[in-house]
Structure 1
Amino acid sequence: MKKSFIIFLNLLLISSIQAQKNDWENQNVTQINKEKPSASLFYDDSSNDVTSLNGIWDFAYFDDVSKVPANAKPTKWNKIQVPSAWEMQGYGTPIYTNQIYPFDKNPPFIAGINGNPVGIYQREFEVNEIQDKEVYVYFGSVSSAFYLWINDQKVGYSQDSWSPATFNISSYLKKGKNTLRMQVFRWSDGSYLEDQDGWRMSGIFRDVFLVEKQAVHIRDYFVKTDLVGDGAQLNLQIDLSNNTKKKINKYKYHVSIKDDEGKVIVMQELGASAVVNISKEIPKIKRWSNEVPNLYTLNVQLKKGKELVDEFQSKIGFRDIAISDKQELLLNGKPIIIKGVNIVEHDPVNGKYVSKERMEKIVKLLKQYNINTVRTAHYPASPYFYKLCDEYGILVIDEANVESQGMKYEEESLAKDTSWQKAHVERLEAMMHRDKNHPSVIMWSFGNEAGNGVNMEAMQRVAKTLDKSRPTHYHIIDGGVSYDIYGGGIIKFGKYDFFGRYQSVDDLIHLGEKGTDRSYLLNEYAHSMGNSTGNLQEYVDVFEKYPNLIGGCIWDWSDQGITKGTDGSYGVKIKDEETAHQKCKTPGQDFYWVYGGSFGDKPNSGSFCINGIVFPDLTTSSKTEEVKKAYKEIAFSLKNFNQGLIEITNKYHVINLNKFDFEWLLLKNGKKISSIPFSISLEGLSKQELTLPQWNFVENSNDEYVLQVSAKLKENSKWAEKGYEIAFEEWVLAPQKTSQMVLKSDKKVSVKDAGSHIEVIASNHKFLFDKASGNLLKAIKSGEEIIAGGMELSFYRAPVDNDRSFRKDWDDFQPDSLDCTVNSFDVRVVGNNAKLLIAKSYKSPNKKIEISTYEVFTVTGEGEVIVDLGLDYYGDALPKSLPRIGYTAKMPRTYDEVSWYGKGPGSSYNDRKTGMRMGIYTATIDELFTNYIKPQANGNRSEVRWVKVGDQNPIQISSQEPINFSLQKFDAYLLAKARFSYQLKENEYNILNIDFEQGPLGNGSCGPAPLKKYCVQPEKSEYKLNFKFFN
């Protein structure tokens, strides 16, 4: 008896403590008086029973919850735009952190250096009729938790920043003017499940609606489709809300489905009840797919006699998702490869509020760049985004708002704590109910970096109870695999890994060869931070080779930079976004994009949020072009150049290639000599050999030929105009190699020893060579300096973000600080040519590495310069790859235009060049520069046969082998030192880099090292350059 009494007292004490917890610091209180989740029955205020409450609200900000007045009733109000993030409206501080919580880690409590700020929102609205009405207020997204008052009466509480919160406010209303007030907490216990890599912001991020319904109305619906031959089995469930005590036997449903031409394919009338299920076999339908997103209009009316009580319309699609015995992902019965990206909701001016216009621009770009899938990282996206994906044809991996990586993955993981199970499950339920009717949603994801355990098992049980038609997905295998599709884990860099993503190509080959017990999706790969996205094609090749490897999603879509002025302005203070963003893309301006730590935010993860294949304003780059090329669905392979025989593969499922205009184009030494349009009819998932029409090729062994084939849209589409190129390929037929000949000249050279330097005069050219450094000091023609500040051999480039995998090697090597010694300097006159033979050694500061070089500069009587370079490497700590091998020359600033024959028009590197094509291009020095948010090496052009710099008295550089070049206003040391683009100030000279080798980009900022075949190996090697000077 005594023992039982003690237990009773302990339970009483626990209950008392529990009761004293704040709702926002109690994982067991996730909502109060909130409506059950349901499908999105509206997206905007176009319906008669929906009124938008977006606009200007009253607002009061408090930097900590302890300062909020009683009943959240401030004495002074400011104004704020809704929706918005209040940090972008001038209140509080944006914080970017990846893993570390912005508060002390002590779940479920909130404390720490940032306090817990609160925003009080208030606005008035009118209700003209309240009798026999049910009035709801709908919040699309509020971060992170809030209380709601109507007319000073407390209605309820909600948390989960990225799912809707709906309250029935009927009993709190009065006829006429009413007042809505909210107390929004920046952080709550729910924030422990919202540790997503991104900017931490607060406020009302999405639409707010007032919804007026009759007492009996439609509450929810669920459309399920099963394909049967050319037709489909439709299963429709409709849920009714009856807020009266009366029977509803006089109510009826009128259900119709129309195709895109308005033809009725289903018409049915039936009696209404709390839950109604309709099953209908439709003999012939047009299937929905990402290629051809056929949609039908579902219309459901609730009537009482002839009176229309309630009605909704929804676009629906007939499609099927399944997994084959080979672990292939099947769309409508055919294997599909996920060629995807992760998208984080972000706007450089508005923060976590993303407009419909921006969303539509994103979806159009996805289609234009052959991206077929979006993973909503790492929470459900705006409802409008799914509507666009349905209409345009984008597959969606829908991810629950569950991430708790700050708690790590061991026993303290919240996934293993059953007291947090309710919060895990409710977030999944909210997403699934809201998005269940979208044909674009093909997969449910349990979240990201949230550990694994009993709570994920509970999520799987709930997912399969709610919806068996879609597979589930997650990426941590430790603690048991309860989901259908692996999103990571098993192996990383050749070793077992329960968690990892960003596997190497070799890792994926291992998984493909060994096989897996379920489909494997690389839900994050190709970490596109800064100048990056190397060896992408190799990943796609592996996805397409192994059935169980169903694809991947690049991390990520857009750089999460925030637009900021040098005067400190950002957010609502940016008055002209277009001008500001144009300046952000130009170095040295008074606007620039920023990352973590730029607002004094602590903790912060620096520039780790700058990972996009597009810039914050959605401007594309060479990274985007590489993705477009790798993800294309029309493939070309060359069978015989001389015969013009190619093979075309149609990787689309249902699109016939007769929807495209094709063209072949032939270049001779970079210049177009012929181009012929052609067409082909080829069904999906098939291939065909084709001899190019009107092909009449006669090879000259001294010339280089490039064959290019492209496919363009034949008609206008929703996402691009007629003529838009969707795929291309090219092949190079190189000339036979001959030895580089030194030009013979009747003109003689003169050589003069001027003490500190050697002076070589050839015709109207003068070249000065420094004895101490062994470098070319100046190249002068007709009195004009062309190389003005010297030219030196260099192994250094400003680090790119993905160089992390080489960082340890380069800490030993220190290519920016090599000690150069001239071992010999010999000058000879051979016939009418001068030869300067210079031997040097470059030693690392720690003396562990030495590079021995031997240069021969041959100056002809015509003023042409031939450079022969030999290198050898010594030491026990040689790096796995060098940043570069080449020359850096300082040119007068008037040398600011360039033309070249090589890959273009954008930048390219040895492992990121397939998105560019061969040709002759012209650009200014500004056009050559890519202004990455965190300055780094950029602007390289590869596969260059020749490059000409300058307009007056230009210099042309060429070689027997393709070379690289860049021309910039900033040297590598300034690029390496600067944190932001506004800090870049022009050098005294323009910097010309001519490289025999340029190091790879890879994905190493959060992934494997670049592929070995692309690395610049420190091996004995020889190179040659030719410099010509023109009038």
Structure 2
Amino acid sequence: MNHLKTLALILLLNFILQNAEAQHKPFLDNIYDYIENPQMIGLNQQEGHVPLLPFTSLEKAFVNAPEQSSGFLSLNGKWKFLYCVNPEGINREFYQPRFNEKGMTEITVPGNWQMQGFGEKIFRNVSQPFKADPPHIPRDYNPVGSYRKTFTVPSEFKDKQLFLHFEGVSSAYFLWVNGQEVGYNQGANEPAEFDVTKLVKPGKNTVSVMVFQYSDGTYNEDQDMWRLAGIFRSVYLMATPKVHIRDYYVTTDLDEKYDNATLQVQAEVENFSDQPINGYQVKVTLLDQNNLPVLTDLTSEKITLDKGEKTTIRLNAAVKSPLKWSDEKPNLYHIGFELIDPVGLTTEALADRIGFKEVEIRHQVLYVNGVAVKLNGVNSHMQHPDLGHTMDVETIRKDFYLMKQFNINCVRTCHYPPVKEYLKLADELGIYIVDETGDEAHATEYISNMPEWTKSYVERAQKMVLRDRNHPSIIFWSAGNESGSGFNICEVIAAGKRLDPSRPGWMYGGNDLDHPGSNPIKCEDIIGPRYGTPFELKVFYGESPEEIDPRPSFMDEYLAATGNSLGGMDEYWDVIYQYPRCIGGAIWDWVSPGLRERYISTPDASSNNISAALMGKTALVAGKTGQAVQLTGTDTWVELYRDPKLDISGKALTVSFWVKPREWNGNGTFLSKGFYQFGVEQTNQKELEFYVGNKKRTSVKTVLPDNWQDNWHLVTGIYNGSLLQIYIDGTKKGETPCTLTIENKPFAINIGRNPEIEAQENPNHYSNASFDQVAVFDKVIPVEELLNPTEATKKSAVCWLDFDEQKTNSEFFSMGVGGRTYGMIWPDRTVQPELWQVKKSAQPVSVKLTDEAKGEVEIWNRMYFTNTSELEAIWQLQCEGSVVKEGTVETSIPALSKANLMIPYLPFEKEKGKEYFLLLSFRQKQDKPWAKKGFEIAWDQMPLQITAAQPEESILGLKAPELLDTDQAIQVKGSNFLYSFSKTTGSLASVKFDGTELLKQEMDLNVWRAPLANDMDQWTVGASGLTHLPGWGLGQSNIWSALGLDHLTTKADRMNWTIEPGQIILTIESHSWAGELSTCLLYTSPSP
């Protein structure tokens, strides 16, 4: 143990020495000591604080309009910009005041540079886009954006303290003002602020920022999303008095009856002047929703501060029966802060909105204002189809309106703090927020147990809490997502609790049932699980007693909304409502992550005219003949449509293409139809391989020629049923015996990518080459014909791509390489069908029919703070889609209560054989910001008993059927029909009516269904040891195919029958197997 302590001390001293050395060298002489150093999180920054907007009067502060502030200058807008692919290519003079900007382009801030035409858009889930080796990052591909903006300082800023504020930059950056070094920051989604008072001059000034796409901080930001970079949140200059309220913290403590409250205020005042000050006071004013005063005389004692000193002022006041804040009743109060100088003048005024709310955890249950609440939540990224990770207020507002309309009351901000406007709107509209630290180290979770990474974990949490802790919408905090279960998670939680003791709840996004030894983490206040079944949620959490674990259960992720999904919602919510410990969960996830792109295609010169899409940032360049397609090596490829003509199987194949490889980058997939079916790839710097396969693959390899790089070469692979041959530039370079039958697999043909293994978890580059005359044949073509192809040769191919032209087609939403179709709404905020299930399963009012004869129903008000009298209740008696009767009923059921009610739909006469339903619908009585009066929030449709109909006249008086026992079948014969049941399988083999056969084939037992997106997810089936078929992907549906569930064999065991007056009852027992499956089918002939 002593040796370990000594080693840890040596490592810590080494980091300290590195940091000290880094601070004494110019930034650009010392780049990697910053961006590969997990101890270097920031340099020369101000301590985090609440967002501030200073005014000269309280009246202006309450209006809170930035344009009325004499201390705010937005730097959003057009900036000058330089882009390069790695730090080796940077312009080292760009930040100098006299730098010539003519060679720079313009870029919009805030914005991701990939969304404005620079660099590549990369989507990854677990893996990094490069081989992980923390804290090191790739040297060959680490794009750098150099930003410059010239601005004029307003005259009102004279003699003020000036702070330059960045709300979000990915992932790390250096900052200069007027050519002078200011500081450094990493942490993409957390704010950073720099004191630039001594560097800013009157008149024109220049701010320069160099942003690195990857840094050691990237290992803490390995979120399941698009990996975009740049200054993507707002930038502004703030001017404050020399004596300044730099932070405030407001909490509300409710009494035991949750009626009266104590308002507790902490205000931190700092003296930035070069003189001691005394006689200053802080005054707090509280206004209600109608701007009427609640508190006006809450003023501190006079304070004395030495130069550079700061102090925290604490004030308390009793507030009688304030309106409380909750998701259903988001009552907000206006709070104002004034800094009063010794002569009684207001030198600075700030304002904010607060809510009176108290969150508690008692006996495994989460309480808000004394009421046990359930959270029907979603995970939501800051994701826009056109702006990337830059979010505008109107899109946020639309998201929240949709959430309210669909009974969603909670958002987990996956997997980082949102833009500050997000929380303001959540306060205003009533959405509970699980505010999540920007820590996710999914590919390298082991760093959670490494002390050199503690600062990187904790710093992000501290900035989040200090910025967001005054928002009433935040119900509890999250210590990050999938970052490991090491001690750094507990360090995050401990740091957060020191900064915000008002909320008892911290969770961590990563608990699952597969690792009971490390999950849940002991320091969590709220535990998982994630992606457990309803049964597991019930048995392991709902029914687990308090003495085993006193913490509430919140599913931070469940029911991944991928494609056609969200089956089982009712089963989950039955458990959630049944067990107090189960407080709900957050579905993965809210919005589909697609980015709007144009579908760009290139024509197929073969007679098949198969569509080929140019994916990513491809370009047409000079080719071997005409033009060629150039791939960048980063998430660019060509994908052919899954046309059946490309599903080549058998013992004949020719693939051919001209390729111009650039420098080897570790990936050499040239053409592929999956890992097994066929393909050509450069396996290393020296070898080329051609392969074909079925459940295994056979390949032939050759050594590359010396002039391989940066020259055009014709590569040809031929399989003739006995030999596998590879050619380069028309010369045979290798062959191997092969007699296997190529087996078709479910992957598309790709150029520059293997679609089976190079998807969303690919930690490598993609092909770094240009391609021309790419051809695939389902027969053998002599290589001489490919050297000088004719039009007839091209037409005879299965596909032939010349790349001489491209066509820009309609728009689509790109999910990137292997991206999954997450989301309950599309990127443009169009609702997907499964969102209606979310609305229904957790709807705030539930109804069941208790006595049909009396018209009695039981109504369960599942709202927490709202009486049903605030809703309009409308009933309808329906018959097969038509309304028979309708009306309204008055209800007055308290929150979380049940009551019986008579619905006056009686009397009415049922028509025999028809279906009747009673519908009860609950709708808004008043307009809401998110919905108009009459908007439906809950409904239940209850079936009434059916009065049996008389038999159809067509079968009355028919002759009784007879049974025929033949060698092959049991037959049931009537006057004009004949049913035949196979004695081999027991299946219905034939149905004849008036002599016409009605069955195309024998009826078989079918337990197969089309795989859904979740079934086909490329997770870990192949590595799990479960039965699976090579070459069919790693989704769950592979197991179904491997077990043979798509082609069962059936055998009849017993066939029995009884003949009764007027009818025959035939019972058939059979079993079907892929595995072993028994069935019992009962057939009864119609009885007249």
Q: What's the TM-score, normalizing by structure 2?
A: 0.67
Question: For residues 548 and 172 of structure 1, do their structure 2 counterparts lie closer, same or farther at Cα, with a shift above 3 Å needed?
Answer: same
Question: For residues 877 and 739 of structure 1, do their structure 2 counterparts lie closer, same or farther at Cα, with a shift above 3 Å needed?
Answer: farther
Task: Determine which structure has more spread, i.e. the larger CA radius of gyration.
Answer: 2
User: Does the Cα contact within 8 Å between 1:485 and 1:520 map onto a contact in 2?
Assistant: no
Matches within 5 A, 1:232-631: 232-268=261-297, 269-271=299-301, 273=303, 274-304=311-341, 305-324=343-362, 326-408=363-445, 413-471=446-504, 472-474=506-508, 475-476=510-511, 478=518, 481-488=521-528, 501-515=531-545, 516-567=549-600, 606-607=817-818, 609-631=820-842
Matches within 5 A, 1:87-106: 87-106=114-133
Partners of 2:583 and 2:8 lie apart in 1 by: 54
- What is the CA-CA distance between 1:203 and the residue it aligns to? 1.0
What do residues 59-78 of structure 1 show as CA deviations (whole Å, max 9, x unaligned)?
Answer: 11111112112144587211
SS of residue in 2 equivalent to 1:195: coil
- What is the CA-CA distance between 1:699 and the residue it aligns to? 4.0
SS of residue in 2 equivalent to 1:1020: strand
Counterpart selection for 1:33 from 44, 63, 76:
44
- What is the CA-CA distance between 1:669 and the residue it aligns to? 2.9
**After the TM superposition, which of the residue ranges 118-127 and 474-483 deviates more from structure 2?**
474-483
Counterpart selection for 1:127 from 138, 153, 163:
153
Q: Which residue pairs with 1:710 in the alignment?
A: 921
Long gaps (5+) in structure 2: 1-6, 22-29, 54-63, 96-100, 304-310, 512-516, 601-612, 619-641, 644-754, 766-815, 959-986, 1017-1034, 1056-1065
What do residues 163-218 of structure 1 show as CA deviations (whole Å, max 9, x unaligned)?
Answer: 11111111111111111111001011111111111111111121111212221221
User: Does the Cα contact within 8 Å between 2:127 and 2:763 map onto a contact in 1?
Assistant: no
Question: What percent identity do the matched residue pairs reach?
Answer: 31
User: Does the Cα contact within 8 Å between 1:370 and 1:632 map onto a contact in 2?
Assistant: yes
- What is the CA-CA distance between 1:569 and the residue it aligns to? 9.8
Q: Which residue pairs with 1:221 in the alignment?
A: 248
Partners of 2:956 and 2:335 lie apart in 1 by: 83
Partners of 1:330 and 1:373 lie apart in 2 by: 14
Partners of 2:383 and 2:118 lie apart in 1 by: 18
Partners of 1:650 and 1:539 lie apart in 2 by: 19
Question: For residues 638 and 14 of structure 1, do their structure 2 counterparts lie closer, same or farther at Cα, with a shift above 3 Å needed?
Answer: closer
Question: For residues 8 and 51 of structure 1, do their structure 2 counterparts lie closer, same or farther at Cα, with a shift above 3 Å needed?
Answer: closer
Question: For residues 350 and 600 of structure 1, do their structure 2 counterparts lie closer, same or farther at Cα, with a shift above 3 Å needed?
Answer: farther
Question: For residues 733 and 541 of structure 1, do their structure 2 counterparts lie closer, same or farther at Cα, with a shift above 3 Å needed?
Answer: same
Counterpart selection for 1:807 from 1005, 1013, 1037:
1037
User: Does the Cα contact within 8 Å between 2:253 and 2:358 map onto a contact in 1?
Assistant: yes
- What is the CA-CA distance between 1:422 and the residue it aligns to? 1.2
Partners of 1:571 and 1:310 lie apart in 2 by: 51
User: Does the Cα contact within 8 Å between 2:335 and 2:352 map onto a contact in 1?
Assistant: yes
Question: For residues 183 and 731 of structure 1, do their structure 2 counterparts lie closer, same or farther at Cα, with a shift above 3 Å needed?
Answer: same
Q: Which residue pairs with 2:713 in the alignment?
A: none
Partners of 1:348 and 1:1021 lie apart in 2 by: 52
The yes-or-no answer on 1:643 pairing with 2:854 is yes
User: Does the Cα contact within 8 Å between 1:639 and 1:646 map onto a contact in 2?
Assistant: yes
User: Does the Cα contact within 8 Å between 2:326 and 2:368 map onto a contact in 1?
Assistant: yes
* Amino acid aligned to 2:573: V
Partners of 1:137 and 1:658 lie apart in 2 by: 51
Question: For residues 736 and 425 of structure 1, do their structure 2 counterparts lie closer, same or farther at Cα, with a shift above 3 Å needed?
Answer: same
Counterpart selection for 1:45 from 66, 79, 98:
66
Question: For residues 742 and 278 of structure 1, do their structure 2 counterparts lie closer, same or farther at Cα, with a shift above 3 Å needed?
Answer: same
Question: For residues 132 and 13 of structure 1, do their structure 2 counterparts lie closer, same or farther at Cα, with a shift above 3 Å needed?
Answer: closer
Partners of 1:8 and 1:733 lie apart in 2 by: 76
- What is the CA-CA distance between 1:622 and the residue it aligns to? 2.2
The yes-or-no answer on 1:22 pairing with 2:33 is yes
Q: Which residue pairs with 2:77 in the alignment?
A: 55
Q: Which residue pairs with 2:683 in the alignment?
A: none
Matches within 5 A, 1:672-691: 672-691=883-902
User: Does the Cα contact within 8 Å between 1:295 and 1:315 map onto a contact in 2?
Assistant: yes
* Amino acid aligned to 1:703: K
* Amino acid aligned to 1:57: W
Partners of 1:1025 and 1:364 lie apart in 2 by: 55
Partners of 1:295 and 1:572 lie apart in 2 by: 47
Partners of 1:517 and 1:204 lie apart in 2 by: 43
User: Does the Cα contact within 8 Å between 1:562 and 1:570 map onto a contact in 2?
Assistant: no
Partners of 1:14 and 1:291 lie apart in 2 by: 50
Partners of 1:779 and 1:71 lie apart in 2 by: 88
SS of residue in 2 equivalent to 1:468: coil
What do residues 800-826 of structure 1 show as CA deviations (whole Å, max 9, x unaligned)?
Answer: 12335852552145566x4xxxxxxxx
The yes-or-no answer on 1:877 pairing with 2:1075 is yes
User: Does the Cα contact within 8 Å between 2:127 and 2:762 map onto a contact in 1?
Assistant: no
User: Does the Cα contact within 8 Å between 1:488 and 1:501 map onto a contact in 2?
Assistant: no
**After the TM superposition, which of the residue ranges 504-513 and 433-442 deviates more from structure 2?**
504-513
What do residues 970-1007 of structure 1 show as CA deviations (whole Å, max 9, x unaligned)?
Answer: xxxxxxxxxxxxxxxxxxxxxxxxxxxxxxxxxxxxxx
The yes-or-no answer on 1:80 pairing with 2:107 is yes
Partners of 2:83 and 2:578 lie apart in 1 by: 56
* Amino acid aligned to 2:496: A
Question: For residues 697 and 484 of structure 1, do their structure 2 counterparts lie closer, same or farther at Cα, with a shift above 3 Å needed?
Answer: farther
Long gaps (5+) in structure 1: 1-5, 490-499, 574-586, 589-593, 748-773, 781-785, 819-841, 844-848, 855-867, 880-1017, 1027-1031
Partners of 1:102 and 1:633 lie apart in 2 by: 43
**After the TM superposition, which of the residue ranges 472-481 and 622-631 deviates more from structure 2?**
472-481
Question: For residues 850 and 714 of structure 1, do their structure 2 counterparts lie closer, same or farther at Cα, with a shift above 3 Å needed?
Answer: farther
User: Does the Cα contact within 8 Å between 2:41 and 2:185 map onto a contact in 1?
Assistant: yes
User: Does the Cα contact within 8 Å between 1:100 and 1:603 map onto a contact in 2?
Assistant: no
Partners of 1:597 and 1:675 lie apart in 2 by: 58
Q: Which residue pairs with 1:661 in the alignment?
A: 872
Partners of 1:723 and 1:312 lie apart in 2 by: 39
Root-mean-square deviation over aligned CA pairs:
4.4
What do residues 363-403 of structure 1 show as CA deviations (whole Å, max 9, x unaligned)?
Answer: 11111111111111111011101001100111111110111
Partners of 1:570 and 1:695 lie apart in 2 by: 63
- What is the CA-CA distance between 1:710 and the residue it aligns to? 0.7
SS of residue in 1 equivalent to 2:904: coil
Aligned pairs, how many? 796
What do residues 755-784 of structure 1 show as CA deviations (whole Å, max 9, x unaligned)?
Answer: xxxxxxxxxxxxxxxxxxx9999999xxxx
Q: Which residue pairs with 1:958 in the alignment?
A: none
Question: For residues 689 and 402 of structure 1, do their structure 2 counterparts lie closer, same or farther at Cα, with a shift above 3 Å needed?
Answer: same
Question: For residues 296 and 569 of structure 1, do their structure 2 counterparts lie closer, same or farther at Cα, with a shift above 3 Å needed?
Answer: farther
Question: For residues 12 and 546 of structure 1, do their structure 2 counterparts lie closer, same or farther at Cα, with a shift above 3 Å needed?
Answer: closer
Partners of 1:155 and 1:72 lie apart in 2 by: 15
SS of residue in 2 equivalent to 1:255: strand
SS of residue in 2 equivalent to 1:510: helix
Partners of 1:1025 and 1:332 lie apart in 2 by: 64
Q: Which residue pairs with 1:205 in the alignment?
A: 232
Question: For residues 226 and 10 of structure 1, do their structure 2 counterparts lie closer, same or farther at Cα, with a shift above 3 Å needed?
Answer: closer
